[in-house]
Structure 1
Amino acid sequence: MSKGQELAAEPGAHQGLTAAEIAFIREHLYDNPGELILKAGKFKGLDVKKLAAQIQSRQKALKKLPEWSANEKLIFPPALSVEQCSSEATAHYKAGIVSGNTLIDITGGMGIDCYYMSASFTKAHYFEQQPEVASTAEYNFAQLGASRIQVHAGESLVALRDGLTADWLYADPARRDANKEKVVRLADCTPDVAGNSGLLLNAAPHILIKTSPLLDIDLASKELQKLKEVHIIGYEQECKELLFVLDREMPGQNFKIKVRIVDSVGRPLHQLDFDREEERSAVVGYAKPSGYLYEPHAAVLKAGAFKTVASRFNLQKLAMHSQLYTSESYVEDFPGRSFKILAICKPDIREISQHIPGDKANITTRNFPAKPEELRKKWKLKDGGGHYLFATTLADQSKVVIVCVKPI
């Protein structure tokens, strides 16, 4: 055992859940946790407050963490921690871009990422400063059969300074400051991975840093040393997280941007690779809506691939700031939503209603002086149905509503 490992104490054993507690959680999994607490007197011999918290967390995790949710023996952290942890989909994706003999996870937490990424390594070190969190993670890893993960209750940076090394190092720094406000700079996260990048790169030749999608990519690129890639991960309709890959051998700072829209097991459904120079030099034309309409996925927009996505897929923009695209013939595999255009109308419900059946439509606004809910109320339309209304501004500054349906 290395000196670095000795600095991090092994966590105390977690007692886990009793058979009676597991049965209670199973029976009341879909009940209101608050109401269960109010009825606590009915359930003799059980800590209903503790179990209600487990139920609340599991309810949050059902879709986000299906494999973990299906294991009745696992202990879940508070619901807020479940909301903030990685999904299984994005954890699977991360496991696909790292591999080697040893992984060090310096920020521990619930352990979702460490668990899935550890499958790509012979062994993994999980570090967590809070003893109770570390103890719970160790217990959960044991229930999941993740024997290659060694849990340390202690400060990871101390172990790194003392000589602990690995092939890959992973960090998911806390993304709120002392006042619980969301932050957009890496330097305001804990631990300060930018300020400690020399230490991290000395401990491992490859670093993977996960951040909130709110983080400013270009600002972070100036804060980090040896930046090789930025992965922008989309899942369903949202941009879920940013991944910064550092490489000790990276000579310059011409990093690649990799947009990945993944499925439930982390496989890319759509992908777009480019760099800032390509975006700057890309030539894009403007046109009125014709044939088909394209709305980029949130991950594409976060990447700033506004011109690149047009040039790659041979599309034209409707206007400089609308971020909607069009083509005469249908383009497959577009990284976002695609629609067949039925009509282009003035923002007048009398004209729009000639092209939609009933009083239902899905409304989106792009570069338009009103929000979808305001238009829905004004036009007396319910949300839903098979028709889509895009209220936007064209290159000639005219305001229009594009009536669409799904292409197939």
Structure 2
Amino acid sequence: MSNWQEMAAESSAHNGLTEAEIAFIREHLYDNPGELILKAGKFRGLDVKKLAGQIQSRQKALKKLPEWSANENLIFPPALSVEQCSSEATAHYKAGIVSGKTLIDITGGMGIDCYYMSRSFAQTHYFEQQLQVASTAEYNFTQLGATRIHVHAGESLTALRNGLTADWLYADPARRDANKEKVVRLADCTPDVAGNAAVLLNAAPNILIKTSPLLDIDLASKELQKLKEVHVMGYEQECKELLFILDREMREPDFKIKVRIIDAAGQPIHELDFDREEERNALVDYSRPLGYLYEPHAAVLKAGAFKTLCARFNVRKLAMHSQLYTSEDYSAPFPGRCFRIVAVCKPDIREILQHIPGDKANITTRNFPAKPEELRKKWKIKDGGDHYLFATTLADQSKVVIVCVKPI
């Protein structure tokens, strides 16, 4: 990381940004930060390196953090921290599933989740070991009017061992090791929430843990004590994060998996609750493509609800490993993308072109021996348009291309 990027969070948390600095950021918000550095001599009296860092971070945050981006007084951390923080959408969702008198956020950071969840509590304790990060968060909380958040620049587990308690405890363990390399196993994250489960559960009866969507749910479930629920969070077309809820009173080892595909306000668009036993016992019918085709959302696939979809939404699978579904009648509530089937073709461009106008279509492959970009190059088809081509393998092992359009 370059020096000017590292300086993104170095504004004084006590003094904040000056009017001149705010005006500079506003005027150059959509400019290239690197080019601003090269022109620093033109802007006398301003620390352009610092401001370029702020601009780069705000550019990263415009879509992800619209409310924070709209507040010109806030100080943003380096762009990498913005990339790694929760979105406002998922933070709003978390705020809707926790409540009580006291919340403890043991991993602090930028404070997005802490800020939104604090609205559901009478008081919140925010812990962050890095003094500058904690100081900046405290300044931002003040600017946002979050007066019920108490900021602690220090190590959280010590405070918990010394008797600090709450109704809910929140943890977003750092997912990078000492070499700044990404890690996904709970034991490799900091703090080790599984290894410190006894301390956490002694401090609060309810624990909410956010992890990377890459974490293996079943492996994590074996590491965590008192696991009650796993929320698999989908936003737009991606699986964004996993939320593990621990309950001190849990007796049974079974846990519920809750898929939530949310909108920008954190409200669920699609919901799917199931458990591993239901998935194991669900019956599956296989079929050739019928009237409609369904592609499950990435969060549904991450949750492993492959067979449960058939029972809940009256759809059939095309093949065991293709993870595409079909039905004669339209199933509007299906948690994913839905299409009306126009034709089922061999993987032959001459046959496919009979069903699409021009040379433009969107290509997806599922359980097919070629990638979309390879087919696009081979078939000389441009990306885009109103038609969708799904290259896949059916239950009888035949390779087909299903030509679709949006259902409505």
Tell me which interval the TM-score lies in, with the shorter structure as reference length.
over 0.9
Question: Does the CA contact (< 8 Å) of 1:183 and 1:215 recur in 2?
Answer: no
C-alpha distance in 1, partners of 2:255/2:179? 33
| Counterpart in the other structure of 1:117 | 117
**1:284, 1:29 → 2: CA distance?**
52
Tell me which amino acid in the other structure corresponds to 2:174: A
Conservation of the 8 A alpha-carbon contact between 1:234 and 1:240: yes
Partner of 1:147, secondary structure, is coil
Which residue of 1 is the match for residue 102 of structure 2? 102
Per-residue CA deviation, residues 345-390 of structure 1 (Å, 9 max, x unaligned), is: 0111110000000111000000001110111111111111100000
**Structure 1 residue 241 corresponds to structure 2 residue 241:** yes
CA distance in 2, matches of 1:13, 1:76: 11
Q: Which residue of 1 aligns with 2:383?
A: 383
1:180, CA displacement in angstroms? Answer: 3.1
Match of 2:156 in 1: 156
Please state how far the C-alpha of 1:13 moved relative to its aligned partner. 5.0
Q: Distance in 2 between matches of 1:209 and 1:329?
A: 40
C-alpha distance in 1, partners of 2:273/2:229?
10
Superposed displacement of residue 332, structure 1: 1.2
Q: Secondary structure at the match of 1:96?
A: helix
- Aligned partner of 1:71 in structure 2 is 71
How far apart, CA to CA, are the structure 2 residues paired with 1:158 and 1:358? 66
Equivalent AA in structure 2 for residue 75 of structure 1: I
Are the counterparts in 2 of residues 260 and 270 from structure 1 also a CA contact under 8 Å?
yes
CA–CA distance in 2 between the matches of 1:255 and 1:405? 38
Detail structure 1 runs of 4+ shifted over 3 Å in the superposition. Answer: none
Tell me the distance in 2 between the aligned counterparts of 1:183 and 1:264.
28
Measure the CA separation in 1 of the matches of 2:388 and 2:231.
Answer: 30
Tell me, in whole angstroms, the C-alpha distance in 1 between the residues paired with 2:181 and 2:253.
30
For 2:186 and 2:319, locate their aligned partners in 1 and report how far apart those are by CA, in whole Å: 33
The answer as to whether partners of 2:261 and 2:299 remain within 8 angstroms in 1 is yes
Amino acid at match of 1:191: P
Q: Is the 8 A contact 1:390 1:402 kept in 2?
A: yes
Task: In structure 2, give the amino acid aligned to 1:218.
Answer: D
Equivalent position SS for 2:239: strand
Q: CA deviation at 1:184?
A: 3.0
State the distance in 1 between where 2:15 and 2:375 align: 55
Distance apart, 1:14 and its partner CA: 2.7
Q: 1:192 and 2:196 equivalent?
A: no
Report the alpha carbon displacement of residue 155 of structure 1 after superposing the two structures with TM. Answer: 0.1
Amino acid at match of 2:112: I
Shift of 1:182: 2.7
For 2:407, the equivalent position in structure 1 comes to 407
| Deviation for aligned residue 1:253 | 1.4
Equivalent position amino acid for 2:91 in 1: A
Aligned to 1:255: 255
Cα deviation code 1:33-69 (max 9, x no counterpart): 0000000000000000000000000000000000000
Superposition pairs for residues 6-405 of structure 1, below 5 Å? 13-405=13-405
1:389 and 1:183 map into 2 onto residues whose CA distance is 35
Q: Output the CA distance in 2 between the equivalents of 1:128 and 1:176.
A: 16
Deviations 1:208-252 (A, max 9, x none): 000010001000000000000000000000000000000000002
AA matched with 1:157: L
Amino acid at match of 1:364: T
Contact 2:313 2:333 in 1 (8 A): no
Question: In 2, distance between residues paired with 1:159 and 1:359?
Answer: 63
- Alpha-carbon distance in 2 for matches of 1:372, 1:184: 28
SS in 2 for 1:288: coil
In structure 2, C-alpha distance between the alignment counterparts of 1:190 and 1:301, rounded to whole Å: 27
Q: Distance in 2 between matches of 1:177 and 1:222?
A: 22
Cα distance, 1:185 vs. partner?
A: 1.5
Distance 2:388 2:42 in 1: 50
In structure 1, C-alpha distance between the alignment counterparts of 2:54 and 2:32, rounded to whole Å: 12
| SS class of match (2:214) | coil
State the distance in 2 between where 1:58 and 1:363 align. 33
Contact 2:226–2:247 under 8 Å retained in 1: yes
- SS of the residue corresponding to residue 272 of structure 2 reads strand
Tell me the CA shift for residue 15 of structure 1.
1.9
Question: Are 1:123 and 1:149, in contact at CA under 8 Å, matched by a contact in 2?
Answer: yes
* Pairs aligned (count): 397
Cα distance in 2 for partners of 1:52, 1:212 equals 29
2:7 matched to which residue of 1? none
How far residue 401 of structure 1 moved from its aligned partner, in angstroms, is: 0.3
Provide the residue aligned with 1:5 in structure 2: none
**1:118, 1:124 within 8 Å by CA — same for their partners in 2?**
yes
User: Scaled by the length of structure 2, what TM-score is found?
Assistant: 0.96
Structure 2 gaps, min length 5: 1-11
**1:406, 1:176 → 2: CA distance?**
41
2:9 aligned partner:
none
